[in-house]
């Protein structure tokens, strides 16, 4: 059964979409910030990790028994073998409306940076793809002894301090979605169902401006190796994990006055100081 399913998802599950709401572009995608301007450095965003019960048996991901592929047919939860997480539909159930018993344990806290894996990932792929931190969900310090059927969610703002060419890539196993919101629309990237570890970025580079872009990243691992890592590429260069100072929690957004504003403020302070100084001099003169 496992090998048959594997053949099916290798055949047809790689989906990378570049959806641009409000206009299509083939070359670099120009996206203005959702919040333009200069903002103070971030301290990372919140990560919500869920351990789904290995015996949860209500997957709504579709499986086509005739074509041996995902995305059509009947819900996998109706098959005797259909326990655990199989795709983004199950991720949404876990975070949106989990039935009692679906979520075995959870961990929520500051994620810094977004680069988490399970032990099997680090053992198998750490040497070639780079090690990631153990997801805080897992023992010995976390609440879950099991490292399969786990999911994660991160959301907040990505802070851009230099306008230019960017791309974002998500290293994942098994699947993920990523959205990036700007002033005029939202870009999205996803890889649904079951996939071997891979990093997937937007098909076009992005031209970004100085400011904040909202984002959401959701990921899940069904069995074996599991990883989620958010990287960026700047100016067409190599991938590197997005630093925590570029990840801002919505309740920690802090605008920094721009140089022109500073100039006005300092000019104003100098003027006030000069008036006060003249007044003091005149008072002194009257006294003298
Ligand atoms: Ca695993
Ligand atoms: Ca996996």
- Counting every residue written for the chain, the total comes to 288
Q: Mean pLDDT across the chain, nearest whole number?
A: 88
- C-alpha 274 to ligand 1 mean position (Å): 68
Centroid of ligand 2 to alpha carbon of 104 (angstroms): 18
**For the ranges 134-138, 145-149, 266-270, which has the lowest average pLDDT?**
266-270
Q: What is the pTM of this model?
A: 0.83
- List, for residues 203-242, the tens digit of each pLDDT value: 999 999 999 999 999 999 999 999 999 999 999 999 999 9
Between the CA of 106 and the centroid of ligand 2 the distance, in Å, is: 19
**How much of the chain, in percent, has pLDDT values that exceed 70?**
80
Q: Which ligand is nearest to the CA of 120?
A: 1
Contacts with 140 (C-beta within 8 Å, 6 or more apart), sequence order: none
Q: Is the pLDDT of residue 15 over 50?
A: no
- Rounded to the nearest angstrom, the distance between the alpha carbon of 187 and the centre of ligand 1 is 29
pLDDT digit string, tens, across residues 71-81:
999 999 999 99
Ligand in closest contact with the CA of 134: 1
Ligand 1: centre distance to CA 56 (Å): 16
Q: How far is the CA of 170 from the centre of ligand 1 (A)?
A: 17
Ligand nearest the Cα atom of residue 173: 2
Report how far ligand 1's centroid is from the alpha carbon of 269 (Å).
Answer: 59
Mean local confidence (pLDDT), 148-175: 98
Confidence of residue 257 (pLDDT cuts 50, 70, 90): confident
Q: What is the pLDDT of residues 42-56, one digit of tens each?
A: 999 999 999 999 999
Contact 204, 25 (CB under 8 A): yes
Q: In terms of pLDDT, which residue wins out, 267 or 64?
A: 64
Percent of the chain at pLDDT above 90?
79
Whether 4 has a pLDDT exceeding 60, the answer reads no
Region 115-144 average pLDDT? 97
**d(Cα 85, Cα 176) in Å, to the nearest integer?**
12
21 band by pLDDT with thresholds 50, 70 and 90: very low
Cα 255 to its chain centre, rounded Å, is: 22
Q: Name the residues around ion ligand 2, CB cutoff 5 A.
A: 173-174, 221, 224-226
Ligand 2 mean position to 150 CA, how many Å?
10
Q: How far is the CA of 20 from the centre of ligand 1 (A)?
A: 33
**Lowest model confidence (mean pLDDT) among 2-6, 118-122, 123-127, 212-216:** 2-6
């Amino acid at each position: 059964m496992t090998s048959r399913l594997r053949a099916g998802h290798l055949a047809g599950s790689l989906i990378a979409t570049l959806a641009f709401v409000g206009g299509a572009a083939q070359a670099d995608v120009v996206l203005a910030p959702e919040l333009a301007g200069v903002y103070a450095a971030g301290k990372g965003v919140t990560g919500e990790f869920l351990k789904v019960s290995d015996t949860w048996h209500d997957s709504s991901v579709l499986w086509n028994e005739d074509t041996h592929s995902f995305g059509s047919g009947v819900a996998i939860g109706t098959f005797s073998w259909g326990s655990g997480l199989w795709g983004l539909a199950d991720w949404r159930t876990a975070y949106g409306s989990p039935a009692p018993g679906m979520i075995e344990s959870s961990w929520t806290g500051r994620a810094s940076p977004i680069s988490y894996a399970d032990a099997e990932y680090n053992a198998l792929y750490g040497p070639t793809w780079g090690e990631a931190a153990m997801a805080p969900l897992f023992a010995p310090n976390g609440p879950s002894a099991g490292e399969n059927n786990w999911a994660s969610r991160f959301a907040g703002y990505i802070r851009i301090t230099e306008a230019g060419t960017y791309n974002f890539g998500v290293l994942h196993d098994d699947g993920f979605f990523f959205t990036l919101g700007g002033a005029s629309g939202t870009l999205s990237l996803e890889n649904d169902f079951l996939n071997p570890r891979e990093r997937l970025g937007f098909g076009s580079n992005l031209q970004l401006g100085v400011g904040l872009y909202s984002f959401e990243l959701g990921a899940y691992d069904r069995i074996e190796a599991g990883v989620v890592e958010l990287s960026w590429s700047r100016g067409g260069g190599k991938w590197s994990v997005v630093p925590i100072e570029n990840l801002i929690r919505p309740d920690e957004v802090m605008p920094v006055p721009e140089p022109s504003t500073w100039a006005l403020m300092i000019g104003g302070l100098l003027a006030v100081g000069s008036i006060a100084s003249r007044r003091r001099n005149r008072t002194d003169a009257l006294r003298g």
